[in-house]
């Protein structure tokens, strides 16, 4: 009897290009990563974390006004007037408007310890203004003619420097 014939098939190696090999390796890695994530979930399911205490941040410090840089009384009055002008706002045509904003005279009067100190501060302010605006007649008239919101504060600073330089 004759031996059965066996068919022999030749295995032909398949040559894959780089893109195909990267796609196969990517699929294998995706499967491994998915299994690893599942293993972490299963292995850590029994862990119970204690409740963490409530953490509250400390309140931010309240800003305090910087100390007055001027030891002289008139310069200090002009400095306080600048701070009040920045806080309350500036207006024209009146000493104080409905929102609390003040003109230069009004803010100096509110910052001065006395009527005489307010008058002296206004004299120094007018002198500081006349250095750049020689036609300015009075502080109120100059104040009412201004449209630049920064100029009143700038001239309060200049007047404070002038008063400090003179020891007033």
User: Measured at the alpha carbon of residue 37, what is the angle toward residues 33 and 42, in degrees to the nearest 5?
Assistant: 145
Q: Which residues pair with 96 in a beta bridge?
A: 102
Is residue 96 very low, low, confident or very high in pLDDT (cuts 50, 70, 90)?
confident
**Comparison of pLDDT for 9 and 5, the residue scoring more:** 9
Cα–Cα distances in Å, from 87 out to 5, 7, 48, 63? 107, 101, 54, 13
CB 70 within 8 A of CB 81: no
pLDDT digits (tens, 9 = 90+) for 130-165: 999 999 999 999 999 988 889 999 999 999 999 999
CB 137 within 8 A of CB 110: no
pLDDT digits (tens, 9 = 90+) for 14-50: 788 999 899 999 999 999 999 999 888 888 878 887 8
User: Measured at the alpha carbon of residue 129, what is the angle toward residues 124 and 133, in degrees to the nearest 5?
Assistant: 150
- When the pLDDT of each residue in the chain is averaged and rounded to a whole number, the result is 87
Q: Counting beta carbons within 10 angstroms of the beta carbon of residue 125, is it exposed (0 to 12), middle (13 to 18) or buried (19 or more)?
A: buried
**Which pLDDT score, from 0 to 100, does residue 162 have?**
94
% of residues, the chain, pLDDT over 70: 95
Give the pair of three-digit tokens for residue 155.
């001239």
Report the SS3 class of residue 118. helix
Q: Which long-range contacts (CB under 8 A, 24 or more apart) does 20-28 make?
A: none
């Amino acid at each position: 009897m004759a031996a059965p014939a066996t068919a022999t098939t030749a295995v032909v190696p398949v040559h894959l290009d780089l893109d195909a090999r990267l796609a196969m390796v990517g699929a294998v890695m995706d499967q491994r990563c998915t299994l690893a994530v599942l293993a972490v979930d299963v292995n850590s399911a029994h862990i119970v974390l204690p409740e963490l205490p409530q953490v509250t941040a400390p309140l931010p410090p309240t800003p305090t006004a910087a100390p007055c840089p001027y030891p002289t009384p008139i310069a200090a009055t002009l400095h306080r007037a600048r701070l009040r002008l920045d806080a309350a706002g500036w207006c024209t045509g009146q000493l104080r408007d409905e929102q609390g904003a003040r003109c230069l005279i009004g803010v100096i009067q509110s910052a001065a310890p006395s009527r005489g100190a307010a008058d002296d501060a206004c004299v120094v302010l007018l002198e500081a203004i006349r250095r750049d605006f020689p036609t300015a007649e009075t502080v109120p008239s100059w104040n009412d003619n201004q449209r630049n919101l920064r100029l009143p504060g700038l001239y309060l600073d200049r007047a404070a420097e002038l008063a400090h330089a003179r020891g007033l």
